[in-house]
Structure 1
Amino acid sequence: MKITLKDGTVKEYPEAKSVIDIAFDISEGLARAACAGEVNGEVVDLRTVLDQDCSLNILTAKDPEGLRVVRHTCSHVLAEAVKNLFPEAKLAIGPAIDTGYYYDFEATPFSREDLDAIEKEMKKIIKKGAKLERFTLPREEAIKKMEELGEPYKVELIRDLPEDAEISFYDQGDFVDLCAGPHLMSTKGIKAFKLTSSSGAYWRGDSNKAMLQRIYGSAFATKEELNDYLQYLEEVKKRDHNKLGREMELFTTVDVIGQGLPLLMPKGAKIIQTLQRWIEDEEDNHWGYIRTKTPLMAKSDLYKISGHWGHYKDGMFVLGDEEKDKEVFALRPMTCPFQYYVYKAKQRSYRDLPLRYSETSTLFRNEDSGEMHGLTRVRQFTISEGHLIVRPDQMVEEFKKCIALAKKCLTTLGLQDDVTYHLSKWDPDDREKYIGEPEVWDQTEQHIRDVLTELEIPFVEDVGEAAFYGPKVDINAKNVYGKEDTMITIQWDALLAEQFDMYYIDPNGEKVRPYIIHRTSLGCYERTLAWLIEKYAGLFPTWLCPEQVRILPISDKYLDYAKQVEQALQTNGILCSVDEKSEKIGYKIREARLAKVPYMLVVGEKEEAEKKVSVRSRFLGDEGQKDLQEFIDAISKEIRTKEIRKIEVQDEK
């Protein structure tokens, strides 16, 4: 048997050997650090026996996949500790994730004090150093074992496995868990861990199923790496839009109004207004869009034509009962069918196309309560929605222009390097989810693939993420916690024109079906605001700030001059205010910093006499005295050009 190692070295053995035995043969130090093996590119348990030629890489905690094994084992230690301290808790699942691991339990909510006690118990388990032993059981014996242990969620998992699946368990002394592995050889391989938080989570992500309690944690190869990560988490908490946005009085939520229905406060509303006016002007004046305004609801008949009633009804807010009411309405989850009827209002010629409809659309989607989070996942939201009705021969170029518009929006906001592009495809194994024939899907997906390749945009392909009527480009970004959300979508639709009997008259006088592009230029305004809060930690580019300048009179004597400065700024469209409090100037400066105002203008006797202002900014700190008009000209240009200035002073905390 020939084993080819990562460096190209070939080891020969006359008999079968386990991965851990080969690791010891290479180096005792390597074996002690080993977490798993990678055999022909597949991560396997160290206990795996090799009996034929293959490539082998010994993974340690320095390797991402090796670290995942450490974290997976840590999740089992967490489960054992919870069962020791809370015997009535029921086990669900406990995988490793990109930032660490979690385990779900049927239990009462865990407090921070509970997590501290569980950590202490985990340390005891790790110190004992129990070996992890893998074993398998036939299906019925596996079910019986979990029933005897009183673990109904494990029983459900086993019953859902394929009939021919190998059902494996790991024993770590006093604790046994259903698991495919791989795992460390011993709990002593866990060197540094921390439980970070707990929250509710539905069993299998289904709001109709039991609410479980999820404990999150992380683990690293060294205590130094763990400490660095914990410091990073503290920084993340400072940037979390759900916390920072409330502190900055950008938005709030109220129980009696409802979950997923945030209230935008004046400052947050001003940012959204700025974004919306910019996008509407950009689309209308530079990209050839024409604007529509359509109803927020429609009869169920409309959604039945589009296919949403059959494919998306559970995600809609339905008004009425089909069995009792003559007419049933629903709040709109999208604008496309409304704009189709704008198109159909009169006969169209091939010369009329492309028609680019755009609308600032308020939409409603009945998201699961467990999915709600701040501004990123809500039930009512507003998007920069658009639909392009085009001839087939125009489709590729118009699709490219939609991508170009999206890229311009991202670049203007300084977000262009924070996104990934995805080709969201259909799943041919889930035919009920989609309309249309396979050849149409194959063709449209290939068109998008060709466009992204031609534009030299790196992308990944996601099966099953397409809308039910067409593939799309999803431009995604991660929040501070690493969760990915779609920010902008551009979708290729070769099917819905048929559903709505849309056509144009070609040069020969024949009726021809158009193609449709569904797109957003910026996406959801609420989600974009959340993204911007986290990107800039609340220190927005000046043009987006709800307050761009705060004028700080040294004393009440100079309040009149401060008001004159305010009037001059407002005349030039600059968002500003005067701090009229009878406080010392140092206090006023600190208040302005905490409010994350980009510019402060200090005015006193000298400034009033010379018609100047003393400028302090988050960019350069104390910029000294300037003529008022000089300052107005500079900030007006910064706002007009949407400049993103580099912050060179760190005194905003």
Structure 2
Amino acid sequence: MPVDPNNDPYYRLRHSLAHVMAQAVLEIFPEGKVAIGPPIENGFYYDFDLPRALTPDDLSTIEAGMRQIVARDVPFLFREVSADEARQLFHDQPYKLELIDGLAQGLDENGETAKGDTVISTYRQDTFEDLCRGPHLERTGQIDPASFKLMSIAGAYWRGDEKRPQLQRIYGTAWNDQAELEQYLWRLEEAKKRDHRRLGKELDLYSISDEVGAGLILWHPKGAMIRVIAEDFARQAHLKAGYEWVFSPHIGRAHLWETSGHLEFYKESMYAPMDIDGEAYYAKPMNCPFHIQIYQTHMRSYRDLPRRYAEYGTVYRYELSGALHGLTRVRGFTQDDAHIFCRPDQVEEEIGRALEFSLYVLRAFGLSDFTAYLSTRPEKYVGAPEDWERATAALERAVETHQLPYQVDEGGGAFYGPKIDLKVYDALGREWQLSTIQFDFNLPERFGLEYIGEDNQPHRPYMVHRALMGSMERFFGVLIEHYAGAFPLWLAPVQAVLIPITDAQIAYAERVRQQLVEAGLRVEVDTSRDRMQGKIRRAQLQKVPYMLIIGKKEEEASAVAVRLRSGEDLGAIPLDACLARMQEEIANRT
């Protein structure tokens, strides 16, 4: 992902290292051709056309060459050149010549019309000179030789066009010092361990079947149990917050999607229509038109507003196969969707309520670090400017009232309204897009929504879209990685495993299980022929929170010996005390 040189404190370092890497590669392959090499999030890359395919062993050789260049402590020197001078300088570099021709015609490096004047400039360090706007460090010696690492090799088409030559892209990462680098590498390794696709299989939570289709999730009993618990908690929270639950079909007539504008603006993401009684029907990509239909079944008075409709609505959107990714990018998913219909004078209170409610639910799942992004009116928009100003001000006041750090994305709103995107940071500090609070001036107009005001005249209500978890699939993927599969007790699909030491304790274990189940716990008994330590190890691998071991002494004392999945041994505890401990932990959602 490209980064902004004005906002990224690592930009100069990483940009400089991209050039150092290019020099090191050309010192190994003098006949090589260079393309482009920008800094990106967490690092940098450079694309090369080389006489042979690179191997992972080449990365260490290139790294050694980079450290030699760093040790020379040579300056990065900037200069502007004419197009003819640039062509002469890069006469044997065809990719650079193509870029130079574009710059001479007022195009940027992507071949699009440049914003402002195009200036051809270069940066030189040591024996290497490259087309570049900068900025860079002053000298290579400012780079800590232990602060960077080359990570991988990938294929990349020139300018992203599959009809153009395929180049070899080398990715690297760079940080201020070795400690930062090691911390980043640790996070990468930890992310691999937490990958929801791996844990989903190991913990038997979900699967994707080729027979069913890519991007379509099969929820296994354990994964489904977590979903049921999460949905039940959020459903009750919605009811307490004044939402009304609704249900809507999975398909709708083409006319509905024509009115909503989806067939005009969103058709590429919708699946092909099906013919029913000679009419075209589409699988729904969104729930909003259905909630509008529910609103329109009655003439609404100003006294009836606000109306808050909530639904776990399953929608279907076409995603390219290359974009699919486990639970977090799918083709069929269930949104915890809500739509709020309100009067203009109610809008600020409703936005505040929606934001506060979103924060409450997310925090209940252990997600507590947020940043809000406020997207404002774009150049092309629908609705009156004063409505946009009122809605945007309400969104801004809401995030300020809740003391959330936020950034303003000027002009980043959709054409139909401003929005707040609530992004959450997980246990590794990674950012996930979850909740959205979105104004909509478009659909109320398209569907002719009305309410009768105090003046007995029809008025247009405001409409607010609100997705809290985003989708159950994506949210589940985030939770798996946030907790590394070790869900808190209230969410764990199996909360305790009873482990009888010998067959003589199986009957007592079954009585204990029944008592715990009647108290509302999810408990299993391991009656396998394995030894006790093997049973404990299996439960730990399945990340079961409590292992309750039962021997002759525990049975005689109506107790259980408690082991936690962390490995902590609490010793023998009376069964009633163990149950009380677990119930308190569940009630506090710790």
TM-score by length of 2: 0.86
1:403 maps to a residue whose letter is L
1:226 aligns with 2:181: yes
Alignment of 1:450-599 (within 5 A): 450-478=397-425, 484-599=431-546
**Structure 1 position 114, deviation (Å):** 4.6
**Structure 1 position 499, deviation (Å):** 1.1
Which residue of structure 2 lines up, in the alignment, with residue 425 of structure 1?
Answer: 376
Aligned partner of 2:255 among 295, 301, 306: 301
CA contact (8 A) 1:241 1:530 kept: yes
2:136 maps to a residue whose letter is H
Which residue of structure 2 lines up, in the alignment, with residue 32 of structure 1?
Answer: none
- State the percentage of identical aligned residues: 40
Which residue of structure 1 lines up, in the alignment, with residue 267 of structure 2?
Answer: 313
Deviations along 1:31-72, one digit per CA (max 9) or x if unpaired, are xxxxxxxxxxx97xxxxxxxxxxxxxxxxxxx973x432221
Partners of 1:146 and 1:256 in 2: CA distance? 53
1:635 aligns with 2:582: yes
**Structure 1 position 162, deviation (Å):** 4.4
Q: For structure 2, list consecutive stretches of 5 or more residues without a partner in the other structure.
A: 103-107
Which residue of structure 2 lines up, in the alignment, with residue 177 of structure 1?
Answer: 130
1:309 maps to a residue whose letter is L
CA contact (8 A) 1:207 1:368 kept: no
Partners of 1:203 and 1:333 in 2: CA distance? 34
**Structure 1 position 580, deviation (Å):** 1.9
CA contact (8 A) 2:382 2:441 kept: no
1:101 aligns with 2:44: yes
CA contact (8 A) 2:71 2:141 kept: yes
Residue 544 of structure 1: SS of its match in structure 2? coil
Aligned partner of 1:272 among 227, 230, 234: 227
CA contact (8 A) 1:355 1:390 kept: yes
**Structure 1 position 194, deviation (Å):** 0.6
> Structure 2 vs 1, CA of residues 442 and 617 (structure 1 numbering), >3 Å: closer, same or farther?
same
- RMSD over equivalenced CA pairs, Å: 3.4
**Structure 1 position 409, deviation (Å):** 0.3
**Structure 1 position 252, deviation (Å):** 3.6
CA contact (8 A) 1:240 1:480 kept: no
**Structure 1 position 214, deviation (Å):** 4.7
Aligned partner of 1:608 among 540, 543, 555: 555
Alignment of 1:313-352 (within 5 A): 313-319=267-273, 327-352=279-304
Partners of 1:258 and 1:91 in 2: CA distance? 41
Which residue of structure 2 lines up, in the alignment, with residue 166 of structure 1?
Answer: 119
Alignment of 1:245-260 (within 5 A): 245-254=200-209, 257-260=212-215
**Structure 1 position 597, deviation (Å):** 0.8
**Structure 1 position 280, deviation (Å):** 1.4
Which residue of structure 1 lines up, in the alignment, with residue 216 of structure 2?
Answer: 261
Deviations along 1:202-225, one digit per CA (max 9) or x if unpaired, are 877899999876543222344344
1:517 maps to a residue whose letter is V
**Structure 1 position 127, deviation (Å):** 5.2
Partners of 1:207 and 1:299 in 2: CA distance? 38
Which residue of structure 2 lines up, in the alignment, with residue 49 of structure 1?
Answer: none
**Structure 1 position 543, deviation (Å):** 0.6
Deviations along 1:218-276, one digit per CA (max 9) or x if unpaired, are 22344344334333432333233343333333234455655443443332222122111
**Structure 1 position 356, deviation (Å):** 1.1
Deviations along 1:12-33, one digit per CA (max 9) or x if unpaired, are xxxxxxxxxxxxxxxxxxxxxx
Partners of 1:466 and 1:202 in 2: CA distance? 32
Alignment of 1:281-300 (within 5 A): 281-284=236-239, 286-300=240-254
Aligned partner of 2:16 among 61, 73, 90: 73
Task: Tell me whether 347-356 or 183-192 shows the greater mean CA deviation.
Answer: 183-192
Alignment of 1:49-88 (within 5 A): 65=9, 67-82=10-25
CA contact (8 A) 1:220 1:226 kept: yes
2:81 maps to a residue whose letter is L
Partners of 1:102 and 1:125 in 2: CA distance? 17
CA contact (8 A) 1:607 1:614 kept: yes
> Structure 2 vs 1, CA of residues 221 and 360 (structure 1 numbering), >3 Å: closer, same or farther?
closer
Q: For structure 1, list consecutive stretches of 5 or more residues without a partner in the other structure.
A: 1-41, 44-62, 645-653
Partners of 1:573 and 1:439 in 2: CA distance? 53
**Structure 1 position 396, deviation (Å):** 1.6
CA contact (8 A) 1:424 1:461 kept: yes
CA contact (8 A) 2:47 2:168 kept: yes
Partners of 2:134 and 2:543 in 1: CA distance? 48
1:401 aligns with 2:353: yes
TM-score by length of 1: 0.78
**Structure 1 position 168, deviation (Å):** 1.6
CA contact (8 A) 1:146 1:154 kept: no
Alignment of 1:26-41 (within 5 A): none
**Structure 1 position 173, deviation (Å):** 4.5
Partners of 1:597 and 1:292 in 2: CA distance? 35
